[in-house]
Amino acid sequence: MLYGYLPAILEGLGLTLKVSASSLAIACVFGLVGATAKLSHSRAARWSAEVYTTLIRGMPELVLMLLIFYGGQIGINKLAESQGWEYIDIPPFFAGVMTIGFIFGAYLTETFRGAILAVPRGQAEAGLAFALSPRVVMWRIVLPQMVRHAIPGFANNWLIMIKASALVSIIGLDDMVHRAGLAAATTRAPFTFYMAVALIYLTLTSISIFVLSRVEARYSVGVRRVEF
């Protein structure tokens, strides 16, 4: 099947999944930090989060990826040089994942901010009235309830991110699309390979949609639905 290149493509799929999942974890961290910064009392925190989301959302992912991927490596090594450290060789996987995570963190910042605002204030106030610390209120009361509101936006971002993972082939990572390109070049069957990759992506997005709808149902337990 696929001229014997199926195992190679599936290995590429492994990298695609690793890139997407790790980027998602990093994006969640950036998103949560960004959302809390935007909702904080500190004007500096609000400002820097605002600059972060506005800049990132105003530019194409590909350009940002190239800029951060290449520019970030140079920047870190210039810093290392000025500090007298040795040359730091950043693995491309790490750089790619950090880049995508940083970009989608900006989108998740907005998703999480909206979701946190959707949790009724009284929930946090009740927690504080019971003498829980603000941190405990955040982790045990606000965040679990925020999940339900965040899921639709989160699902969208995850789907966009799986598809954006195809772009890492341009910055030289050996993902599914890159491998399909190599296989296509040797077999002269580009249609077959790119179609196969498209089908795998479609399967991934379909599974994601299914799983996320189940997660949403899980976190909506006890919520009464509006009936029209």
Contacting positions for another protein (CB under 8 A): 55, 57-64, 66-67, 70-71, 74-75, 159, 163-167, 169-170, 177, 181, 184, 188-192, 194-195, 197-198, 201-202, 205-206
Q: What angle do CA 35, 39, 40 make, to 5 degrees?
A: 115
Q: Which is nearer to another protein, 36 or 73 (CB)?
A: 73
The residue assigned the tokens 């190599």 is: 182
Q: How far is the CB of 53 from another protein (least distance, A)?
A: 13
Distance from C-alpha of 211 to C-alpha of 219, rounded to nearest angstrom: 13
Alpha helices in the chain (DSSP H): 6-38, 43-57, 61-82, 92-118, 121-129, 134-136, 143-164, 176-187, 190-219
Q: Which is nearer to another protein, 70 or 85 (CB)?
A: 70
Chain centroid to Cα 158, Å, comes to 6
Q: How far is the CB of 31 from another protein (least distance, A)?
A: 18
According to DSSP, residue 133 is labeled: -
Q: How far is the CB of 59 from another protein (least distance, A)?
A: 5
Q: Which is nearer to another protein, 74 or 226 (CB)?
A: 74
Q: Which is nearer to another protein, 49 or 168 (CB)?
A: 168
3-state secondary structure of 126: helix
Q: How far is the CB of 204 from another protein (least distance, A)?
A: 8
